[in-house]
Amino acid sequence: MDQTASQVEWKKGSAELLILSLVEARPRHGYEISKLIEQRSGGTVRFHVASLYPLLYRLERRGWLCGRWVEKSGQRRRRYYRLTRQGRKVLASQLRGWHEFVVGINRITEAENA
Amino acid sequence: MDQTASQVEWKKGSAELLILSLVEARPRHGYEISKLIEQRSGGTVRFHVASLYPLLYRLERRGWLCGRWVEKSGQRRRRYYRLTRQGRKVLASQLRGWHEFVVGINRITEAENA
DNA sequence: TTCAATATGTTGCCGTGCCATATATGGACC
DNA sequence: GGTCCATATATGGCACGGCAACATATTGAA
């Protein structure tokens, strides 16, 4: 479960897809997203705050997410992000692209042992 | 089959795995490797020379590949790379890591639609 | 003789993730 | 009261890998 050098590189670009996926069903805040990624991947995938928060702003700036501050007594303010209509299209496109990519890589790495 | 922005990022780190996989069975030269990646992925995955050749030197410097010039009449000189014993171990490790990573990503992106 | 395919190589840019550091609140434990 | 951990957001500067653009050189086909 260690983070090999390659795993660090593989992550590049995947954060977008993960965030968009996680806010698809309902709005979530940054910290929640980061914890969900870690939990659901069984600890294999993890993103540092220095990656996550800037990415959230980026996705919002692109119009794929829409963030809104929520204040509740007994807890710090949180910024909840929901998926916009445009974000939904991007998510669908990225999911297609991701599956295509995985198939491509697998075809290459498995061709030799076929 | 277009190269979305994300697909460019997803590729990061995958080139290593692909090259190691492709020279596993027998030595190959850079151009051949690049063509094989493109063909076997159905055009989905492609690496430019400015990524490929420097990467080959890097892998050789790390002792994962061993290159040797081959001159034949009727064709330009080619540098054939073979997988070293250490490279074989790295390949096995990277393959495990890659599969783990894919499972992790899929668990996250599919959890919502389950 | 021009063009495409083959084959290798380099400089410099850009995007994305990480390290380290920072701020701030609530609850548990001693 | 004080310490520590989990929660929650934020940022400056670095590292690294892929790309665009450019460069060189040979073979064979139109």
Average pLDDT over residues B58-83: 94
Per residue in A3-56, pLDDT tens?
677 788 999 999 999 999 999 999 999 999 999 999 999 999 999 999 999 999
Q: How far is the CA of B72 from the C1' of C17 (A)?
A: 44
Average pLDDT over residues A73-101: 94
Burial grade of A45 (CB within 10 A; 0-12, 13-18, 19 or more): buried
Q: How many CB pairs under 8 A join A and B?
A: 126
**pLDDT the model gives residue B84:** 98
| Cβ-Cβ contacts under 8 Å, B107 against chain A | 40-42
For residue A69, give its domain range.
Answer: 5-111
Average pLDDT over residues B62-83: 94
Look over chain A and give the mean of its residue pLDDT values, rounded to a whole number.
93
Check CB contact under 8 Å for A108 and B4: no
Average pLDDT over residues A57-83: 93
| Cβ-Cβ contacts under 8 Å, A94 against chain B | 4, 6
Is B111 a residue whose pLDDT tops 90?
A: no
A83: left (phi over 0), alpha (psi -120 to 50) or beta: beta
More confident residue, A111 or A104: A104
For strand C, the positions having any atom within 7 A of a protein Cβ are: 6-12, 15-22, 24-27
Per residue in B4-60, pLDDT tens?
777 889 999 999 999 999 999 999 999 999 999 999 999 999 999 999 999 999 999
Which is nearest to A43 in space by CA: A5, A12, A13, A2? Answer: A2
Q: How far is the CA of A45 from the C1' of C23 (A)?
A: 27
Is B1 a residue whose pLDDT tops 50?
A: no
**pLDDT the model gives residue A113:** 58
* Lookup: nucleotide whose C1' is closest to B29 CA: C7
Whether B56 contacts B16, CB under 8 Å:
no
Q: How far is the CA of B56 from the C1' of D23 (A)?
A: 19
Average pLDDT over residues A103-108: 97
Question: What is the C-alpha separation between B85 and B24, in angstroms, rounded?
Answer: 10
Smallest Cβ distance to A37: which of B24, B95, B108?
B108
Sheet of B65-72: strand order equals B28-29, B75-83, B65-72
Residue A30 host element (H or E): helix A30-40
**pLDDT the model gives residue A63:** 97
CATH number at residue B95: 1.10.10.10
How many domains does chain B contain in total? 1
DSSP A34-68: HHHHHHHTTTS----HHHHHHHHHHHHHTTSEEEE
SS3 of residue A88 by DSSP: helix
For A81, other C-beta atoms within 10 Å of its C-beta total: 24
Hunting for tokens 């919002």 — which residue is that? A60
**pLDDT the model gives residue B89:** 97
